[in-house]
Amino acid sequence: MRVSIRSGLIMLLAAGVIPTASLRAQAPVAKGKGAASAPPATKGPVAPAARPDLPPPALASLNQVLATVNGEKITRTDLIDFLTRYQVPPLSPDQIYRDAIETMINTRLVGMFLARQRVAVPPEKLNEALAQLERDLKADGRDLQTALIESNQTMDDVRREYTDRLRWVEYLRLKGTDAELKKFAASHKDLIGGTQVRVSHVFLNVPTGATPAEKEKIRQKLVAIKKDIVGNKISFAAAADKYSEDPANTKGEDPAKAEKLGGDIGYFGLNSGIVDEFANAAFALKPGVVTDPIETGHGYHLIQVTDRKEGEPIDFEQKKPLILQIYAAELQKQILTAERKTAQIDIKPMPADLFAPPPQDAAPLAPVNPTPKADTPK
């Protein structure tokens, strides 16, 4: 698919997922954020060339508070430890910082929610998870004490985080009964069955900082374009070629020979990473119908479905692991939506010295939003 998509969800809890924007989990380190049976990752980024190196921070700055969540602090130490667990794409330092902080906030919010549920964690499950961690470390040629020192953690930290992870597993087991999962599968056939739609769109960018009046002017321009399309004054493809500001609508590097694509972005499914506003609008459409302007993080879209490929019938027993995984993701989305409505969140600006400057001969990082894409809003 030509248009970029956000990476969607990363696995932080054994049977659950935490939404984020652009970070991909490595294998877990000593703190045990991933499945207990996975080998821990070596400290440091998987692909150093893919992101700026972290500078050796001054000891005085390690406790610097970068964000608070309901009074709970996220420090520079927390952020540095978090970033060593993830393979980070070539985004700007500011984008990496925001995405990492938001993901850590989400993790804290889910943890706070689970703590309020008072879900019991069987001691034998916690002990087995910790024993498995030690076995995995040993198989990797490491030991727990060394791993704790390398990750600047204590055994209490490990127990607390494994407890949070196991609490989520227990909560999910209580919520995700077979009856609930069957009900969920019946109402999410397109997602679970793998239905795909082929979509074209006309995209108008909304600049960062645009006023409500400026946004409305852009939206009204799309309203007028839709009127011309519906009135058969112009085809959808011709309107996209004439008005769309999505650079992916042009194929070829030579402007003189570039081919317009009529707004076609190809096929995608609900699990493809397309932002919810765009994907949900597309899957609600009958082929040939044009939406009213749909707002996403970058601007407004007119969307038209040109083809639809129905997914496979859902065999519950065969698809149960997938259904549970998707159910867990949707459940955490619901939890986070509710938690963020009342949460007291304060995010500080990125410290100027957080990232070391890249080597002079290194390729520059991509800007935060190099060119607005239709389905890549923040």
Q: pLDDT (tens digit, 9 = 90+) per residue, 135-149?
A: 988 898 888 888 888
In the chain, DSSP assigns E strands to 9-13, 16-19, 24-25, 65-69, 72-75, 86-87, 196-205, 250-251, 259-260, 264-269, 294-295, 299-309, 345-347
Q: Which residues pair with 190 in a beta bridge?
A: none
Please check the confidence at residue 355 and state whether its pLDDT lies above 70: yes
Residue 265 and residue 374 in contact, taking contact as beta carbons nearer than 8 Å: yes
- The values of phi and psi at residue 38, to 5°, are -85, 140
Q: Report the length, in residues, of the chain.
A: 378
**In what order do the strands lie in the sheet containing 196-205?**
264-269, 196-205, 299-309, 294-295
Please, what is the end-to-end C-alpha distance for the chain in angstroms?
19
Which among 120, 171, 95, 29 has a CA at the least distance from the CA of 368?
Answer: 95
Instruction: Say if domain 195-309 classifies as CATH 3.10.20.30.
Output: no
Hey, which of 28-42, 57-71, 145-159, 181-195 has the most confident mean pLDDT?
Answer: 181-195
Q: What is the pLDDT of residues 335-351, one digit of tens each?
A: 999 999 999 999 999 98
Task: Indicate the pTM of the whole model.
Answer: 0.66
**Per residue in 16-51, pLDDT tens?**
334 343 333 332 222 333 322 222 232 222 222 333
Beta strands 259-260 and 250-251, pairing class = antiparallel
Dist CA 130 CA 32 (whole Å): 9
Higher pLDDT: 108 or 63? It is: 108
pLDDT in tens, 212-223: 999 999 999 999
Residue 57, pLDDT score = 53
The 3-class SS string of 238-253 reads HHHHHHCCCHHHEECC
Instruction: Report pLDDT for 60.
Output: 57
Which tens digits make up the pLDDT trace of 229-267?
999 999 999 999 999 999 888 886 666 667 889 999 999
pLDDT value at residue 342: 95
SS3 category, 299: strand
CA distance 151 to 200: 47
Cβ 167 vs Cβ 121: under 8 Å = yes
Residue of 197, 373, 377 lying closest to 279 (CA atoms) = 197
CATH ID of 9-183+319-347, from 1.10.4030, 2.60.40, 1.10.10, 1.10.287: 1.10.4030
Strand, helix or coil at 66? strand
Q: Which residues pair with 309 in a beta bridge?
A: 196
| Average of per-residue pLDDT values in the chain | 78
Vertex 103: Cα angle to 328 and 53 (nearest 5): 135
Least confidently predicted of 87-101, 130-144, 201-215: 87-101
The rounded distance, in Å, linking the Cα atoms of 264 and 329 is: 29
Domain boundaries, the chain: 9-183+319-347, 195-309
pLDDT bracket for residue 376 (50, 70, 90): very low
